[in-house]
Chains A and B, each alone.
Chain A
Amino acid sequence: MDRGLMIFFSVILYGVICVLIASRGKSLSSTSEGYFLGGRSFGIIITVTTVVMGIYSGLTFYGFPSTIMRNGPYPLAATGFGFIGLAYPLIGHKLWKMSIGKGYITTADFLSDRFESNGYGLLVSILQIVFIVPYMTVQLVAVGNGLSYSSGGAVGYSVSVLIFAAFLVAYLLIGGAKGTGMMDVFNAALAIFVPAIAIYIIVGKNFGGSFSVLGQKAFENFPTMMDSESFGSAWKPVNVLAQAISGMMALFASPHIVSKMFMAKDTKTFQQMTWVGPLFYTILTVPIVLMGIIAVALYKDVIPAAQADLVVPIMMLDHTNFFIVVGMLMVLFAYAMSTANGFAMAAATIFSRDLVGKYGFKNIKDPVEKDKISVKLGKIGVVVLMAITVLVSLTRPAAIVEYAYKFATPGFAQILPQLLLGMYWKRTSKQGAIAGTSIGLIVLLVTLFIVKSPLGIHPVIWSLGINFAVTYVVSLVTRPSDSVLERFYGEEA
C-alpha cells in the first residue's frame, strides 16, 4: 500500500482509539457538572497529564526544535510554567472550594459573583472566547501542516484539518471533560515514549549512539549557538523575567488550564500537584530540547527557512522508520488535541453558562431542565467553535500565530490581578476590578502595537503591573458591598 495512505489510515486508527477512550466518560455527560467538570473526579494522574499536555501545544512540539535550530536554545518562553506547582494550591484550591460551595463552573462565575457585576463577568467571558479562537486555530494549522507533509501530500492540508476537527468534536460530544481527561493520559504516554525512541534511533544512526558526537556536530554547524549575546535583549534578566511571568500568568489565568482546576476530586490532588506538576512538565521538556539539538546537527542551514517549522517531520522521514513517523504524528495530534480540547471545553462552558445560560433562558425555572439545556448548549458551543476555527484554519493565516502568542497569552493574564486580589484581599472592589482589567488591556495593546516595549521591557510586565496598580488604588478609594464581605469573608471574621 502507498506510504501516504498507510499514514492516513494510521491517523484514522489513532482518532478512533481516542474516541473509544473518551467514550468511557459518557456516563457522566448527562449533567452539566459531569459534562463540563468530569463530575469533579480527577485524581492526580488525570489532573497532571491533562494540565501539562494542555500547556504544551502542537505548535510547541514542532516549534521549539525549530526555534532552537534557527536561534539557539535561549529564547524560549515557557520557563515560567515550572510554577504550575504553585498555581494549583494558590489559585486552584481556592477556586475549587468556592466552586463546590457556590456552584461555580468557570472563572467568570467567580469574578462576576465576587465583584457583583454580570457586566464584568460578560467582559471576561467575551475576552476568553476571543482569545481562544486563535489558539485553537494554531493547533489545527500545526496538525494540517504536519500530516500533509508526513504523508507526502497524500493527505492534503484541508483534509488533515477536517479529520482533526472531526475527531475532536466527536470525542468532546461523547466524553465531555472526563473523556478528554482519560484521553490525555493516553496522549501523555505517547508524548513521553515515542520521542524518546525516535531520539534513540536518530542518535544511534547518525552519531554512533553518542550524544557527545551529536553536541560536537551541532557546534560545528552552529558555533555561536550558546552565545547568548547574539540574542540581544532577549537574554537579559528583565526579559527572562518577562517571559517567565508571561508563561506563569498564562498558566494561572488561561481558561483551558484554570477550568481544569475545578475538576480535581479533593485537596490531596492539589497538594500532589505541587511536586508532580513541575516534574512532569520537565520530563516532557527534555525530548523537545534534544530534538532541537539534533535539528541543529542535521539541518542547520540545510532546509529552507520556510520549512523550518517542519523540521521534526522532516527529521523523522529522513532518519527513522514508518512506525516512528506515524508515532510522532500521533504525538503531534496528542499535543494539539490536548490543548485544543481544553480550550474547546472551556469555550463550551463559557458559551453555555456565562453567555447563553445567563442571558438566554431565564424563563426556565426547573433546575433539572435548565441543567439539560446547559449541556446541550455546551455541545452546540463545541460545534460552533470548531466550525469557526476550521474556517479560519483553512485560510492558513500567518498572522494568527503571531497574534496568538503576542496578544492572547498576556491578554488572558489581564484577569489575573482580579482573580488573585479577589481571593486574597477583602478590600478589592468591583470598580477596581473593572478599571484594572480595562486599563490593563489598553496598555497591552499600546505597548504591543503602538509604543512597542517601552524601555525595552516586555508588554506583559507593563500591562500587568499597571493592571495590579490600578485595581489596588481604585479599590483603596472604593469598597466592596457588605453582602460580598459577608458571603466571601464571613467565616474568617
Chain B
Amino acid sequence: MSNMEKKIIDKKKIDIDSPRERFFGWFPKEKEAQIMFFAMFIYFAVCTFTWTAWPQKMVFGWWPFPFFAYCFVYIPVLVLMLTVYYYKFWPELKKKDK
C-alpha cells in the first residue's frame, strides 16, 4: 500500500459527522477525564455559591473569612483534585515527550 493510499484511508477514519463527534466531540472520551470534567464544574459552582456565604467576620479576629476559605479550603481542594488526576490518570502520562 502506498503512503498516499494509507493517508487517504487514515483521513476517512477521522469522524466529525457522527452525532457524538458532531455535537459532543469536545467532550473527553476517557472515563477519568469525564469525571474530572464534571468535578471541575461542580467545584466551580460550589465555590461560587459558598464563597459569598461564609461568615462576614475575621478568623482569629484579623484574617477575613473569604481569604481564609480561599487559602485553606478552595485552593487545597483544587490542588488535591488536580494532583490526583494529573499524576494518576492523565492520558498524556502514557505518551513520551517528543
B25, A426: Cβ atoms under 8 Å?
A: yes
Q: What CA separation (Å) do A420 and B37 show in the bound complex?
A: 14
A285 interface contact, C-beta 8 A: yes
Q: What CA separation (Å) do A237 and B47 show in the bound complex?
A: 9
Q: Chain A residues near B75 (CB, 8 Å)?
A: 82, 278-279, 282
Smallest CB–CB gap between A136 and chain B, Å? 29
**How many A residues, CB 8 Å from partner?**
57
Q: What CA separation (Å) do A410 and B42 show in the bound complex?
A: 24
Q: Chain B residues near A282 (CB, 8 Å)?
A: 70-71, 75
Q: Chain B residues near A271 (CB, 8 Å)?
A: 86-87, 90
B25, A425: Cβ atoms under 8 Å?
A: yes
Q: What CA separation (Å) do A427 and B21 show in the bound complex?
A: 8
Q: Chain A residues near B25 (CB, 8 Å)?
A: 425-427
B67, A73: Cβ atoms under 8 Å?
A: yes
User: Given A79-B70, A425-B25, A427-B22 in contact, is the A493-B97 Cβ separation under 8 Å?
Assistant: no
Mask for B73-98, Cβ within 8 A of A = 1, else 0? 01100110011001100101100011
From A144-152, A179-187, A450-458, A482-490, the one touching the partner chain is A482-490
Smallest CB–CB gap between B84 and chain A, Å? 10
A493, B67: Cβ atoms under 8 Å?
A: no
A440 interface contact, C-beta 8 A: no
A85, B97: Cβ atoms under 8 Å?
A: no
A493, B14: Cβ atoms under 8 Å?
A: yes
Please list the 4 inter-chain residue pairs (A to B) with the smallest Cβ-Cβ separation, ordered nearest first.
A215-B62, A493-B13, A425-B26, A215-B61
Q: B interface vs A, CB < 8 Å?
A: 7, 10-11, 13-16, 21-23, 25-26, 28, 40, 44, 47-49, 51-52, 56-58, 60-67, 70-71, 74-75, 78-79, 82-83, 86-87, 90, 92-93, 97-98
In the complex, given contacts A215-B62, A482-B11, what are 10 additional A-B residue pairs having Cβ atoms less than 8 angstroms apart? A85-B79, A101-B98, A237-B48, A278-B82, A285-B67, A286-B71, A293-B62, A427-B16, A479-B16, A480-B16
